[in-house]
A = this chain, B = another copy of it.
């Protein structure tokens, strides 16, 4: 049975309608999202049995998070806590030249105190694949340790470990991030990184292939995926490089595109496809995500196939 377990923080997402500014908004869209539950949902919808692990406050805010994750196609297996907040972020959608703006309000979230001891780690050990991202160790010293613990116990159990660098400049500096990330690398099988993060945070140079090869050489990753936004992605696996162009999309909501890519990639890898096929599938899921509000690719396998087959003619009726 294919099986994916992820661990990380999922926040409430509060955003004004359209491109309204927070300071003038009188109502906010209310969603919940986080890299690791996004990946679980994205894969869960496409045929993978996917579970997201976390720690949440025992409150209506925490229940909003699990209700959201479970309604979208993944399992939520969380530790309920009397202590700690529910992490939150405010999102102002914008258009050029104004950047989409994220205001984090995530300090002291319940998840920042989560330890491997209290989590249902047997689910990781029984899984085919375990995923978390560089956001998790950035959130607290405790989580830095927990991330390391979970990756190690996954590795020990033979569960493939997947890690997305996902650098967030509002959480830590490159100088803070690099040693922490590198301390985790030995326990990671599949590394995903934006080319930009590889340069700015990991100090790598050269083109995407050079970056992938340097990472694989230094850390022994089984697979390295380097994402390049509109320029597509490149993967290095067993010495072979695959390049995958991005699939063009009219963007409606860009947040979560990277998680959609990872969710699609892992889905096909877990279903037995090779890296090139998985990359192409990932690109299709990512392009669909950009057409959907919220952080997840709320799509069906048929819809991904239609993108790959380019069968669409604008209106299906």
Interface residues of A in 155-188 (CB under 8 A from B): 168-170
* A63 touches B (CB below 8 Å): yes
Which residues from chain B contact A242 at a C-beta distance below 8 Å? none
**Given A28-B14, A96-B250, A317-B169, CB of A293 within 8 Å of CB of B20:** yes
Alpha-carbon distance A71/B31, docked complex (angstroms): 13
Q: Are A29 and B26 in contact (CB under 8 A)?
A: yes
Quote the shortest CB–CB distance from A16 to chain B (angstroms): 8
Q: Mark A93-105, 1 if CB is under 8 A from B, else 0.
A: 0111111111111
Listed in ascending order, the chain A residues whose CB lies under 8 Å from chain B are: 14, 18-31, 59-61, 63-64, 67-68, 70-72, 85-86, 88-90, 92, 94-105, 107-108, 168-170, 247-255, 284, 287-288, 291-294, 298-299, 303, 306-307, 310, 312-317
User: How many copies, total?
Assistant: 6
Alpha-carbon distance A157/B287, docked complex (angstroms): 50
Q: A22-B63, A95-B291, A170-B316 are in contact. List 6 more A-B contacts (CB 8 A).
A: A70-B70, A70-B71, A97-B307, A98-B291, A98-B307, A255-B315
Which residues from chain B contact A97 at a C-beta distance below 8 Å? 247-249, 284, 287-288, 291, 307, 310, 312
Give the one of A20, A59, A97, A248 with max B CB within 10 A: A97
